Amino acid sequence: TGASCVYALLGAKQLGWRFLATDADPFAVEIANRNVQKNGMSERIEVVRVPADCMIKVVDVIRSHPEVEFTFCMCNPPFYEYDEYLRNNVLTNVGSGSNCKDRPAPHSATVARSNELAVTGGEVAFVSRLIEDSFVLQNTVKLYTSMVGKKSSLVELRKKLGRCLNVRSTVTTLYQGKTHRWVLAWTFEAQIKLDK
């Protein structure tokens, strides 16, 4: 969820939704909880610390809350592998997919802690774990989504999703200045309509 807990706060305040937000960083969890309390959203948002020694297992988080019906799972993973992060210093748009010279540059630099930017195996490993968990959970969560920082990761991730016959997926592109990001969404629910 990150220290700001921004997505959960927006969803709770603007739409009245309830959130279970997770993070492995104890500092981020502490600050996120403060932000939730300052905004009067403690009844709508629960921030949970998950183990940092392994990839987050969504299966475990969801099964620890059997009384909750989950509509969607939203993931904003670390985009980089540790070696890649150190090599490229992340402040460049390496792998952003940007080739738009007519788009303005972003107005801000990357401001994130290293654990928010890099993880063992990079975003493919992180999102692959979420996909594997979704194969176990299936309809327990109606819609799964993840931000993807590098277009090259989409091929491998969609191939993983293709291993399951009853899953449907879609991708959309987000533009901010010269930076492109992608959102991969998938569902096991037949009644949820996804663009091709």
Distance CA 76, CA 187 (A): 17
| Tokens representing residue 94 in the block | 């390496």
Distance CA 158, CA 169 (A): 8
133 a known binding residue?
no
Question: What kind and span of H or E run contains 162?
Answer: none
Question: What kind and span of H or E run contains 166?
Answer: none
76 a known binding residue?
yes
Strand 141-148 to strand 168-176: parallel, antiparallel, or no bridges (unpaired)?
A: unpaired
Distance CA 17, CA 15 (A): 5
Give the residue among 45, 77, 59 at the shortest CA–CA distance from 183.
77
Q: How far is CA 109 from the centre of its chain?
A: 20
Q: What angle do CA 84, 132, 172 make, to 5 degrees?
A: 65
User: Are the C-beta atoms of residues 121 and 81 closer than 8 Å to each other?
Assistant: yes
Residue 192 has what DSSP assignment?
S
Task: Could you list the residues known to form a binding site, using ranges.
Answer: 23, 76
Task: Could you list the residues known to form a binding site for S-adenosyl-L-methionine, using ranges.
Answer: 23, 76
